[in-house]
Amino acid sequence: MLHVGLCLVALFVVSITHWVYKWRNLKCNGTLPPGSMGWPLLGETLQFIAPSHTLDTSAFIKNRIKRYGSIFRTSLFGSRVIVSTDSELSYMVFQQEGRSFESWYPPSFRKVLGNQSLAFMHGGLRKYLKNMVLTVIGSQSLKNIFSEVETVATRNMERWVSQETTELKTAVADMIYEFMGKKMISYDPVEKPSENLRENYEAFVRGLYSFPLEIPGTAYYKCLQGRKKVMMMLKNMLEERQAKPNEVQNDFFDYVIEELKKNDTTLTEEISLDLIFGLLFANHESTSQAITLAIKFLTDNPRALKELAEEHELILKKREKPEAGLTWEEYKSMTFTFQIINETLRLGNIAPVAFSKALTDIKFKDYTIPSGWVVMVCSPAVHLDPVNYKDPLKFNPWRWEGMELKGSSKTFMVFGGAQRYCVGADLARLQMAIFLHCLVTKYWWQPIKGGDIVRTPALQFPNGFHVQFFEKDKQQ
C-alpha cells in the first residue's frame, strides 16, 4: 500500500514537472521572441498589474525591454502573449485586423465587458453594430449634438463655481453622464437618483485590470457586481420602453427597439444591452480621465494655458454676438486646442493596451508569432519613446505644430488604428475641445489637493484632483 502511494506521489511530481517544463520551453515553427512565461496559469500577471506612480512606461515593460528588446513573450491572464513595444509591429497588428489578426481580450475582460460587446465582434456583425453607433456619435452626427455638449458643460461649470471645492474627475464624469445618458437611454440622474448608473460604473472600472479572483471583497468581484447592477438597470429600462411602444424619446434606445422589431435583424436583446453598456463605459471613463489630465497639465504649465486662452478669446472677439454659442467653423479652427488634446492623449495613454490574436503563424523580423498566440500592443512604449518624441515625458503641445492632429500613425495610436480605430474618437475630441473652450473663456481655477496618478495599468486618480473654480471677471 505504501509502495502504491509513493508511486502515485512520484507520478504526480513528474507530471507537474513535465507541465512546468512544457510551459516554459515552448515549441514554435520558427523562433519565438525571448522572454519569460512566469508561473503556469498565473504567468506574470501580478507584475503586470502592479501599481505604477508615474506616466512613464511601467517598470514591468521597461525592464523587459532592457532585457529582451522591443518584442518579448510572457503570460498574462492565463494566456500566452507576445508584447509589442515596436511601432512597426503594433501598426501592422492594427492594419491586419480581420486578416492575420483579430481583436481579442482575456476571458476575465470578456466576463466584465460582456460576451456580446462591440470590442469582441468580428466581420459583418461588428460592421453592422459600428454603423448603428455611428448614427449617434459618428463624425457626421456631431454637428447635431454640438450645441447640447456646450449647454451641458456650461450648466455644470456654473454649478462648480458655487462650490468651495470640486473633485474634477468625478464632476466631469457626472457631466459626461448627463449628456451621454440622455443621448443613449434618456437617463436623468436627477429624476432617478436611486438608479445611480455612474457609481456602479466606478466599481466596475476599479476592478477591470485587477487579478481575476471572483471572491467577495476583491476588486474583480466588485467589478462584476457593478456590471450586474448596471445591466439590470439597463434591462429594466429597455423592458419599460418596449412596454410603451408609442412613447418616443429620440435616443439610441429608440433605434435599438426599432431594429429589434425587424424580422431579419441580427440584433438581440443581449447584444443591445452589452453595446449600450460598453458605449456608456468607454465615453464616461476615458473622456473624463483625459479632461482631468488636461486640466492638471495646464495647471502646471502657465504658458500653454495662456496660449490656449488667447486662442479661445480670439474666437469670441471675431463673433458678431459674443454671447452666441460655438459654431462648427469655430470648433474646426481650434488648432492649439487640438495640440493640447493630442499631447494629453499621448502622455495619458488612456487605453494602455490592445489585444489581438494571431490567426496564422506570422513572421516578423527574426521572430515567429505562432497561430493562436495573443499580441498585446503596448502604446505607452511607443508614445513615450525618445526616438519618436523628444523629451517624451514633458508636456509640450508645441511639438504638434504643423503635424497631423487627427487619425493614427505608427507613432501615434491613442485611438488604435485601421478597423480597430475607436468608434468614439471624434466625439471624445469634440467633448474635450468644447469643455476647454467653456472653461478658459469664463473661468479660472486653483488646485486644492490631489492630482496624483496611478497606473494599474489603467490610469487612475486615487486621491482625486480637487480644484476651486472662479469666474474670470473676479480678481485672480
Distances (CA, A) of 139 to 199, 328, 340, 430, 457: 29, 12, 20, 10, 30
Q: How far apart are CA 103 and CA 130, in angstroms?
A: 15
Residue ranges in 244-366 assigned as alpha helix (H): 252-261, 269-299, 302-318, 328-332, 335-348
Eight-class DSSP state of 165: -
C-beta of residue 264 within 8 angstroms of C-beta of residue 409:
no
User: Is it true that the peptide bond before 51 is cis, omega within 30 degrees of 0?
Assistant: no
Q: How far apart are CA 80 and CA 145, in angstroms?
A: 43
∠ CA 116-121-126, nearest 5°, is: 115
Residue with cell 441580427: 266
| Helix, coil or strand: residue 468 | strand
Within the chain, what is the greatest distance between any pair of CA atoms? 98
Residue with cell 486618480: 461
Q: Is the CA virtual torsion 279, 285, 287, 290 positive or negative? A: negative
Eight-class DSSP state of 319: -
* Amino acid symbol at 329: E
C-beta of residue 204 within 8 angstroms of C-beta of residue 231:
no
What is the b/e burial string over 319-353, where b = at least 16 CB atoms within 10 angstroms of the residue's CB?
eeeeeeebeeebbeebebbbbbbbbbbbbbbbbbb
C-beta of residue 400 within 8 angstroms of C-beta of residue 409:
no
Q: Consult the annotation and say whether 422 binds a ligand.
A: yes
Rg (CA), the chain: 24
Q: How far apart are CA 378 and CA 380, in angstroms?
A: 6
Which residues contact residue 262 at a Cβ distance below 8 angstroms, ignoring those fewer than 6 apart?
Answer: none
Residue with cell 512566469: 38
Q: How far apart are CA 409 and CA 417, in angstroms?
A: 8
Eight-class DSSP state of 398: G
Annotated binding-site members: 422
Numbered residues of the known binding site for heme: 422
